[in-house]
């Protein structure tokens, strides 16, 4: 098999140099890669961004910034809907719990991890050994470098790399447009093209009270891309499933995705109804509603892809060819294990997982408790149990290397809305009962003799975890404080913790570890057949993708590679400026100031997925020419298979950002900073 077209979310320590040189005549240098790595930014709230000045200025998407914007808003001040501009550095708003990660280095630690797993070990023993050595590596790295250190599993267990990140905790909001400009078209246009959105926001990272001085940043292009230009995307794609076996994908199609969509639809309906109660409720619900609706649409597209017989047939053919080639080679070594065993093992595991997948998702993953308050309660309960243990023996999220980031979230001063927490909790408790049945022992224990509405009311009214000081008292007081607590949320977290941990243990020992071992063997087969010409699945770590800027054809209509600012006004006016196609008053009043021919959004074939939102889009010179913010509906199947026939990722054009900042928002200081005064 050869790499299909421009497919690949490539590791920066194993980039596609030859492919770029052969196909595009582009020499990917070490200096180019170093800048790409150290100027790219990961948002702990989920998403990507990039440094764009020597003074710590960072660009990302408005919808990635939304969580921080929401937390900086308050009754009577809706920065999400109204927008924000810091006229001076002193006006930049500190974000309460935003963490940024900048990758500094990658080290292959596969040999050390694999050396701790012995052939004679049971899956439980192998899983424990693997967790322990990964924890040791992370702890040693943190002590040595002071950098966030994560051992990342690649190729589903075929490789392990140590990623080290510089962390920024002092992050301040600099600019955000109005939500109606950033998300023009709303859910109607989400995952569609053509698009007309100013989905950008700017933050600034600070160190020691002064703007950070990053070692690298992306210079802002003043011209941007033209049709057929080669472009690169540096970002943090979340999850893909291209290297999974057919049996695993069929399990996703028939079990996991239908469950997920049922859950998301119930949440979307409930949160959407809450938002209709008034402007304050709408402000409170905006971030949750966007996340849930976006996820629902993305997973719906994935299910449609897996319901396409041609995709299933292509996956089946790919798998059989790989297996047939390996079986021929095995004739030379007849005593070696049959490769068929690895695929059949994964198929058997899916049957095992069916027996407890819903309970694992509801209790351990937390789908039954969609509430910030419950998440806080669970962390306080588990920290009391985990912190007395050696770091390498703890649950991964409580190891020393993760504690600083965890406590940033746990002690966030961002306000929580009791009424919204109650609605989310009631909805998820109802979903628990619908999924398992009202008489299920877990449901009976969780509801404690009440219906979901009454139980949610009791839990929210009976918690003090709205108060950050109370959270700190519980964590710092350890097991003694947690055991003595009468807080309703803490009591619930304690009540279901043993069962939740048991489902986690079953998942790790009966699903995760056996799958990892089988996939590691399949990875060896794939490496032998194709070398490193196939990129690993996405893991929310920094990757490099590339492609060309171009439009496509749908139902006989040719769609251009870019839209224009004028196109946004035309669409809004044609629809009487009705939501979600309503442009802000600032835009309507300032229309005559703009060059309406300015390119606005553009499409490219580069391989992106969820998590790439906010990713810098670069030209050959490494200049920023756009900010990735979406993909079209044809690209939703990219979770499972790459295609460039119609699939495109969509970005905000660099010229549109400069044009609107200067002429609509009077953000001259930002424009000056972007265009080279620094």
| pLDDT confidence of residue 2 | 45
**pLDDT over 70 for what percent of the chain?**
97
User: From residue 153, how far is each of 131, 157, 254, 447 by CA, in Å?
Assistant: 11, 6, 26, 38
- Mean pLDDT confidence for 500-504: 98
Q: Which CATH class is domain 10-99+169-242+535-674?
A: mainly beta
Is the pLDDT at 286 greater than 70? The verdict is: yes
- Mean pLDDT confidence for 594-607: 98
Residue 328 is inside which H or E element, if any? Answer: helix 309-330
Burial class (CB in 10 A: 0-12, 13-18, 19+), 416: middle
227 neighbors 631 (Cβ within 8 angstroms): no
What angle (nearest 5°) sits at the alpha carbon of residue 426, between those of residues 423 and 430?
140
Angstrom distance (rounded) from CA 274 to CA 424:
10
Is the pLDDT at 333 greater than 80? The verdict is: no
Give the three-state DSSP class for 569. Answer: helix
Sign of the CA dihedral with 341 first, then 342, 344, and 350 last: positive
Residue 644 in tokens: 């460039």
Q: What is the pLDDT of residues 554-588, one digit of tens each?
A: 999 999 999 999 999 999 999 999 999 999 999 99
User: From residue 198, how far is each of 34, 48, 568, 611, 614 by CA, in Å?
Assistant: 29, 16, 10, 18, 12
- pTM, whole model, 2 decimals? 0.95
Kindly indicate the confidence band of residue 85, based on its pLDDT and cuts at 50, 70 and 90.
very high
| pLDDT confidence of residue 325 | 74
- Mean pLDDT confidence for 464-493: 98
Burial class (CB in 10 A: 0-12, 13-18, 19+), 521: middle
Please state the domain extents for the chain: 10-99+169-242+535-674, 104-167, 246-518
**pLDDT over 90 for what percent of the chain?**
94
- Mean pLDDT confidence for 299-322: 94
Angstrom distance (rounded) from CA 214 to CA 59:
14
Q: Could you give the residue ranges of the DSSP H alpha helices within 106-251?
A: 110-115, 123-145, 179-182, 186-189, 246-251
How high is the mean pLDDT of the chain?
96
Kindly indicate the confidence band of residue 332, based on its pLDDT and cuts at 50, 70 and 90.
very low
Angstrom distance (rounded) from CA 90 to CA 254:
54
- Mean pLDDT confidence for 598-619: 98
Is the pLDDT at 626 greater than 60? The verdict is: yes
Q: What is the pLDDT of residues 141-164, one digit of tens each?
A: 999 999 999 999 999 999 999 999
Burial class (CB in 10 A: 0-12, 13-18, 19+), 675: middle
- The total number of residues written for the chain in this structure: 678
| pLDDT confidence of residue 345 | 96
Is the pLDDT at 244 greater than 50? The verdict is: yes
Is the pLDDT at 295 greater than 70? The verdict is: yes
Q: How many helices (H) and strands (E) does the chain have?
A: 26, 21
616 neighbors 49 (Cβ within 8 angstroms): yes
Q: What is the pLDDT of residues 44-73, one digit of tens each?
A: 989 999 999 999 999 999 999 999 999 999
Kindly indicate the confidence band of residue 393, based on its pLDDT and cuts at 50, 70 and 90.
very high
Q: What is the pLDDT of residues 416-431, one digit of tens each?
A: 999 999 999 999 999 9
Residue 416 is inside which H or E element, if any? Answer: none
DSSP 584: P
Closest CA to 376 of 283, 259, 485: 485
| pLDDT confidence of residue 678 | 44
- 603 or 329, which is more confident? 603
- Mean pLDDT confidence for 84-111: 98
How far is the first Cα of the chain from the last one, in angstroms, to the nearest whole number?
Answer: 47
| pLDDT confidence of residue 336 | 56
Kindly indicate the confidence band of residue 324, based on its pLDDT and cuts at 50, 70 and 90.
confident
Residue 352 in tokens: 């095992």
| pLDDT confidence of residue 339 | 81
User: From residue 355, how far is each of 258, 263, 514, 538 by CA, in Å?
Assistant: 16, 19, 16, 27
Kindly indicate the confidence band of residue 517, based on its pLDDT and cuts at 50, 70 and 90.
very high
Residue 51 in tokens: 């440094």
| pLDDT confidence of residue 435 | 98
| pLDDT confidence of residue 330 | 56
Is the pLDDT at 43 greater than 80? The verdict is: yes
Angstrom distance (rounded) from CA 59 to CA 601:
16
Of the given ranges (176-190, 265-279, 402-416, 518-532), which has the lowest mean pLDDT?
A: 518-532
């Amino acid at each position: 098999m050869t790499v299909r077209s421009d497919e690949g979310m490539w590791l920066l320590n194993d980039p596609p140099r030859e492919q770029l040189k052969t196909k595009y005549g582009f020499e990917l240098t070490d200096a180019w890669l170093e800048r790409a790595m150290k100027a790219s930014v990961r948002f702990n709230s989920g998403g990507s961004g990039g440094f764009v000045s020597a003074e710590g200025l960072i660009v990302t998407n408005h919808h990635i910034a939304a969580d921080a914007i929401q937390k900086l808003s308050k009754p009577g001040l809706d920065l999400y809907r109204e927008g924000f501009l810091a006229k001076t550095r002193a006006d930049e708003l500190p974000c309460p719990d935003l963490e940024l990660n900048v990758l500094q280095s990658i080290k292959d630690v596969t040999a050390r991890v694999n050396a701790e797993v012995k052939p004679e070990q049971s899956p439980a023993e192998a899983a424990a050994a693997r967790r322990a050595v990964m924890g040791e590596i992370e702890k040693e790295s943190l002590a040595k470098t002071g950098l966030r250190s994560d051992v990342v599993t690649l190729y589903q267990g075929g490789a392990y790399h140590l990623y080290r990140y510089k962390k920024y905790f002092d992050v301040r909001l600099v600019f955000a447009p109005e939500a109606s400009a950033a998300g023009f078209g709303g859910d109607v246009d989400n995952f569609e093209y053509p698009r007309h959105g100013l989905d950008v926001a700017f933050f600034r990272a600070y160190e020691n009270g002064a703007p950070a001085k990053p070692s690298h940043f992306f210079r802002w292009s003043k011209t941007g891309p033209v049709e057929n230009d080669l472009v690169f995307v540096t970002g943090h794609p979340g999850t893909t499933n291209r290297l999974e076996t057919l049996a695993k994908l069929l399990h996703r199609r028939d079990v996991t995705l239908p469950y997920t969509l049922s859950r998301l639809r119930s949440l979307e309906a409930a949160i959407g109804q809450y938002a209709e109660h008034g402007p304050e409720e709408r402000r409170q619900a905006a971030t949750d509603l966007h996340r849930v609706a976006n996820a629902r649409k993305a997973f719906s597209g994935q299910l449609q892809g897996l319901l396409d017989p041609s995709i299933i047939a292509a996956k089946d053919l790919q798998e059989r060819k790989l297996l047939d080639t390996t079986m021929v080679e095995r004739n030379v070594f007849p005593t070696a294990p049959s490769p068929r065993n690895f695929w059949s093992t994964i198929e058997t595991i899916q049957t095992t997982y069916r027996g407890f997948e819903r309970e694992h998702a509801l209790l351990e993953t937390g789908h039954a408790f969609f509430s910030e308050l419950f998440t806080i309660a669970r962390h306080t309960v588990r920290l009391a149990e985990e912190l007395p243990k050696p770091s390498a023996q703890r649950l991964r999220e409580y190891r020393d290397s993760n504690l600083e980031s965890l406590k940033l979230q746990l002690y966030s001063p961002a306000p929580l809305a009791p009424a919204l927490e109650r609605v989310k909790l009631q909805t998820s408790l109802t979903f628990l009962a619908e999924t398992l049945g009202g008489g299920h022992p877990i449901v009976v224990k969780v509801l404690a003799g009440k219906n979901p509405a009454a139980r949610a009311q009791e839990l929210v009214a009976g918690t003090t975890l709205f108060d950050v000081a109370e959270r700190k008292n519980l964590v710092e007081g350890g097991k003694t404080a947690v055991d003595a607590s009468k807080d309703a949320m803490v009591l619930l977290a304690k009540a279901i913790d043993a069962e939740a941990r048991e489902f986690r243990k079953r998942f790790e020992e009966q699903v995760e570890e056996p799958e990892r071992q089988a996939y590691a063997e399949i990875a060896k087969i794939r490496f032998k057949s194709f070398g490193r010409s196939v990129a690993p699945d996405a893991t929310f770590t920094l990757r490099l993708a590339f492609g060309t800027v171009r439009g496509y054809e749908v139902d006989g209509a040719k769609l251009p590679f870019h839209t224009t600012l004028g196109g946004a006004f035309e669409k809004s006016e044609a629809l009487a400026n009705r939501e979600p196609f309503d442009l802000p008053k600032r835009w309507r009043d300032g229309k005559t100031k703009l060059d309406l021919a300015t390119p606005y959004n553009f499409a490219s074939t580069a391989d992106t997925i969820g998590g790439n939102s906010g990713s810098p889009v670069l030209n050959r010179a490494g200049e920023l020419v756009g900010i990735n913010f979406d993909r079209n509906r044809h690209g939703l199947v990219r979770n499972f298979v790459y295609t460039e026939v119609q699939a495109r990722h969509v970005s905000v054009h660099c010229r549109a950002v400069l044009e609107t900042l200067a002429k609509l928002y009077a953000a001259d200081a930002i424009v000056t900073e972007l265009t080279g005064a620094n």
